[in-house]
Amino acid sequence: MSAALGCILRRDLLLAFRRRSDVANTLVFFVIVVSLFPLGVGPETNQLRTMAPGVVWVAALLASMLSLSRLFAADYQDGSLEQILLSSEPLVILVIGKVLSHWLMSGLPLVLISPVLGLQFGLPLDSIGVLFASLLLGTPVLSLVGAIGAALTLGVRGGGVLVALLVLPLYVPVRVFGAGAVGASAAGVGAQPHLLLLGAFFVLSLVFSPWATAAALRISME
């Protein structure tokens, strides 16, 4: 199973590097959305610090959804998905490999660029560290939960809009506790409870989401 996971991960990463524009679009969208808010609100430091967690997290959420529709679409169109479903390896393992590659190409760049964007809002260094940690815990949840919606809407016309309608309600708790962690740190309350809840969401989604995604893929392919 580890060999199958490694194969699907290498394959998807190679295909993603061949379509670098798709990866760049997600990152550029995230940077532009976050950078426009300080320009529109003004140079008031306290106001920028207050709105920074929500702005960064909403931008990360929207940027993550941009690539969800492509998670299984290319494999569905060229017939690779049928071969994956017919494979002797557990479909859950293959789904984990695809979701991991999706996060590495769409979620991880957002996490790495977030400290720089936090400086635009005048966040202190400890709050920037909490922002980094919250995104590191939360963006995998966005990919795992979003994979369920992408699998359910596979092959459906207007699937991108349907994915948003399906997964946005499930994203709300992650966004609330992710932004709340940064706000609590800036207020001096302590971000540990929020980060622990994000960790719990990550564990739950890692346990249940691959199974739900595998079942949704089988339903969509029937």
Predicted confidence band at 160 (pLDDT cuts at 50, 70, 90)?
Answer: low
Per-residue confidence (pLDDT) for residue 112, from 0 to 100: 92
Per-residue confidence (pLDDT) for residue 1, from 0 to 100: 65
Mean pLDDT, residues 184-188: 80
Among 67-81, 103-117, 154-168, top mean pLDDT goes to: 103-117
State how far the alpha carbon of 215 is from the alpha carbons of 82, 168, 211, in Å. Answer: 14, 20, 6
Predicted confidence band at 137 (pLDDT cuts at 50, 70, 90)?
Answer: very high
Mean pLDDT, residues 177-203: 87
**Residue among 112, 80, 105, 220 at smallest CA distance from 163:** 220
Round to whole Å and give the CA distance between 162 and 165: 5
Q: How many domains does the chain have?
A: 1
Per-residue confidence (pLDDT) for residue 125, from 0 to 100: 86
Per mean pLDDT, which range of 13-22, 26-35, 47-56, 141-150 is the poorest?
A: 13-22
In sequence order, what are the residues at sequence separation of 6 or more whose Cβ sits closer than 8 angstroms to the Cβ of residue 219?
152
Q: Regarding predicted confidence, which is higher, 45 or 137?
A: 137
Q: Where are the alpha helices (DSSP H) in the chain?
A: 2-18, 20-41, 45-66, 73-78, 80-86, 91-102, 108-120, 125-152, 159-187, 192-221
Domain that holds residue 111: 2-221
| Token pair in block for residue 103 | 């996060």
Token pair 């946005």 in the structure block, residue: 168
**Residue among 75, 208, 93, 74 at smallest CA distance from 141:** 208
Residue 75 reports pLDDT greater than 80: no
**Residue among 167, 158, 163, 67 at smallest CA distance from 110:** 67
Contact indicator for 53, 178 with CB cutoff of 8 Å: yes
Round to whole Å and give the CA distance between 32 and 45: 20
Residue 158 reports pLDDT greater than 70: no
Residue 204 reports pLDDT greater than 90: yes
Q: Is the pTM of this model over 0.85?
A: yes
